[in-house]
Amino acid sequence: MTWNPKSDQKLVQIVDAALAEAARKSGPWLVCRPGCTQCCIGPFAISQLDAARLRKGLADLTKADPQRAAKVRRRAKESVARLAKDFPGDAVTGILAEDELSEARFAGFADDEPCPALDPATGTCDLYSARPMTCRTFGPPVRSGEEGALGVCELCYQGATDEQIAACEMAPDPEDLEAKLLKELEERTGRRGKTIVAYCLAE
């Protein structure tokens, strides 16, 4: 076995519970709803753990709704075809390069490219239950970066003070379970480095 779904499910439950608590504290300030797709536009880096979960999600969707799954795969392949030429990494494997120049290129890379998991007709995610950690934590205030700055979706918390925003802070993975599971997965599979959703789903 290359991936432990039970361990990953524990991580998902921890993060989703933290999101639910942050949403409770946030009330109407958190405006994330089906059809709000701003955070679904523009590629973002995902871990190999996210990629494994997405592949499993697509495999499950293939069994439950083959036509819908085929549309996801088609969108992913079309996306890869558009992105490969200027991809800041290995355009064959989809692994992002980690040097400063490549990371700077990725920061402004394909900002108008929709996520292939996004159903353009409904504005919802076809792989919602298998979505990456970035998707699960976007919206509420979350600390990130070396300085631990508190980031929040620009569409949310309109009219809230800094203190009110801080009071809604989400601590998605306090025991850093994700890092442990990622390390185990990389050691078992040999797959390392970050990728993007399109490459993961186009395999």
Question: What whole-number distance in Å separates Cα of residue 173 and Cα of residue 85?
Answer: 36
Q: List pLDDT tens digits, range 78-122.
A: 999 999 999 999 999 999 999 999 999 999 899 999 999 999 999
pLDDT for residue 2 is more than 80: no
Tell me the residue range of the domain where 184 lies. Answer: 5-202
Query: Any idea which residue has 């409904």 for tokens?
Result: 122
Q: Which residues pair with 125 in a beta bridge?
A: 118
pLDDT for residue 197 is more than 90: yes
C-alpha dihedral (118, 130, 97, 105), degrees to nearest 10 = 30
Residues 6+ positions from 45 with CB-CB distance below 8 Å: 96, 106, 134, 194, 195, 196
How many domains, the chain? 1
The alpha-helical segments, DSSP class H, found in 35-160 are 48-64, 66-83, 100-107, 133-137
pLDDT for residue 16 is more than 90: yes
HSE-up (13 A, CA, CB side) for residue 6: 1
CB 138 within 8 A of CB 153: yes
Q: List pLDDT tens digits, range 35-65.
A: 999 999 999 999 999 999 999 999 999 999 9
